[in-house]
Structure 1
Amino acid sequence: MTEFAVFAAIASLGMLVQSTVGFAGSLVAIPLFALFMSPREAVPAYCFTMLAVNLFLVCEGRRHVEWRSVRSLLIGGLPGVPIGAFALKHLPVHIIGAAISVITLIFGILFLSRVRVRFPVHPLTEPGIGLLSGMLGGSISESGPPVVVYALSREWPKDTFRSSLLAYFLCLAATAAVSYTSLGMVKSHLLLLSAAGLLPALAAGHLGVWLKDRINERNFRLAVLITVIAVGVIGLVKYLR
């Protein structure tokens, strides 16, 4: 029972962040999950919960999606997901856990420092970013950082930024769910975990939609990123000691 409650609480926190700012849900949730359970269980279970909540969020913000860029990112992102899922199944757990912590730390610090990366204007830029994002998403459920860095460089309006990322993440989550199932990684226990987190996560997602226009987004992102960095440090200590 404790495991189900912990999963539901962390999934809800991740979805609250995701629905409010459009990203960083997995950056918050996955390192926290890794402190309490194996990434091989946490990543697929969270994927199914995230799939349902992201569907709701995309329907809510569909008018603002930059579909051309989303489609181009998916050209690389969709084939990247099963590659990452294969790595999740076969790599040692301590390597996966350490990778989660390191990537969380790197991108948490990058976002906190507000570094802007300029990308070349080239037909392969978006598919290339999508491929990296898809592999990270399939392996450690952290597909966001590469596409967030790219979206920031495009200087999209806030609603376009949030809605486009959510639409992209929805497509990756659907592909990841199929990949994990095909690889035999989805057991009944994981589905029960995901189901336990579904209603609380949906409620948190709905709360995030309500909050997004009522809070100081800059301060909220700052608090999220400081939390992300702290959790990344704790996870790194756990998996490297």
Structure 2
Amino acid sequence: MSFGMEEILIALIVTLVAGLVHGAFGLGFPMVATPVLALFTDVMTAILLTLAPNIAVNLWSLLRGGGWRESVARYWPVAVWMLVGSGVGTLILVAMDPNPFRLLLAATVVLYLVSDQLKRVNWGWMRRYPGPSGAGAGFVGGILGGTVNVGGPALMIYFLELRIAPLVLVQAINLCFLLGKSTQALTFAALGLLGLELLWLSLPLAITALIGLRVGMWIRERVNADTYRGWLRGLLWLLCILLVVEFFREL
């Protein structure tokens, strides 16, 4: 796997922007970074490029804000199911043609974009049975995270339905992402897919992502979140269209 200067520059810009989005909303790094990078490479390469940045922003987001130990103690079972699903999803990704995952990624992002409408559905059973529903949300989120690097929608529906505090929600989701991405990294390493060049490139990408994350946190404290969220949703709809076009172009 070889990367030219243009590809490296694009990866740096993308991880900076994705880190900024994650800092502004507490999540969203893979949802922004993966589709953009997949337009220039493929889904598996995009996931490999963003492994280290993902882990870095998830760890920082988990530890920031205080009370993270309580969040870990309460929601670690969901994260464990995310870990299992991520391992399974990574094996599926490695064994199959990566191009169809562009379409799956587009569908996953659309699921996130219409999640407000999905809240009209009666999801009360999740509050009545938090254990089994948390296991299901974690496993499905892990499968999606392993195949297309976007496990957020399933987890967001679950944690939003539990109606927990925003800080706890951010910490719980980032705990799940942290275990999922760490499992994915170990799986790729065991399969011999984490080459030396990729590891060297991951370091500056992780640093760039953390810079973007800090800027995003600064923005979150000063800019109207609804306006910023509207810009993000417009960008994600555009990316969905581009991913579908790219999928059919590669057929």
The answer, yes or no, to whether TM exceeds 0.5 is: yes
What secondary structure does 2:164 align onto? coil
What secondary structure does 1:214 align onto? coil
1:228 aligns with 2:225: no
Per-residue CA deviations over 1:28-79 (Å, capped at 9, x if unaligned) read 1111111111222110220112112222222223425633552121232111
Select the residue among 2, 7, 13 that pairs with 1:3. 7
**Cα distance in 1 for residues equivalent to 2:142 and 2:120:** 21
Report the RMSD for the aligned CA atoms in angstroms. 1.9
Question: Given that residues 19 and 57 in structure 2 are in contact (C-alpha distance below 8 angstroms), is that contact kept between their aligned partners in structure 1?
Answer: yes
User: How many matched pairs?
Assistant: 240
Question: Given that residues 52 and 205 in structure 2 are in contact (C-alpha distance below 8 angstroms), is that contact kept between their aligned partners in structure 1?
Answer: no
The CA deviation at 1:114 is 7.0
Match of 2:111 in 1: 106
Report the more deviating stretch, 92-101 or 125-134: 92-101
Match of 1:34 in 2: 38
1:162 aligns with 2:162: no
**Cα distance in 2 for residues equivalent to 1:233 and 1:222:** 17
Question: Given that residues 7 and 193 in structure 1 are in contact (C-alpha distance below 8 angstroms), is that contact kept between their aligned partners in structure 2?
Answer: no
Question: Given that residues 80 and 134 in structure 1 are in contact (C-alpha distance below 8 angstroms), is that contact kept between their aligned partners in structure 2?
Answer: yes
Select the residue among 4, 25, 40 that pairs with 1:21. 25
What secondary structure does 2:99 align onto? helix
1:217 aligns with 2:222: no
Match of 2:213 in 1: 205
1:81 aligns with 2:86: yes
Question: Given that residues 30 and 140 in structure 1 are in contact (C-alpha distance below 8 angstroms), is that contact kept between their aligned partners in structure 2?
Answer: yes
Residue 119 to residue 7, structure 1, CA distance change in 2 (3 Å): farther
Match of 1:71 in 2: 76
What secondary structure does 1:61 align onto? coil
Instruction: Give 5+ residue unaligned stretches, structure 2.
Output: none
The CA deviation at 1:101 is 1.7
The CA deviation at 1:119 is 4.4
What secondary structure does 1:177 align onto? helix
**Cα distance in 2 for residues equivalent to 1:203 and 1:84:** 29
Q: TM-score of the superposition, structure 1-length normalised?
A: 0.91
Match of 1:59 in 2: 63
The CA deviation at 1:192 is 3.0
Residue 184 to residue 116, structure 1, CA distance change in 2 (3 Å): farther
Q: TM-score of the superposition, structure 2-length normalised?
A: 0.88
User: What percent of counterpart residues are identical?
Assistant: 22
Instruction: Give 5+ residue unaligned stretches, structure 1.
Output: none
**Cα distance in 2 for residues equivalent to 1:208 and 1:164:** 19
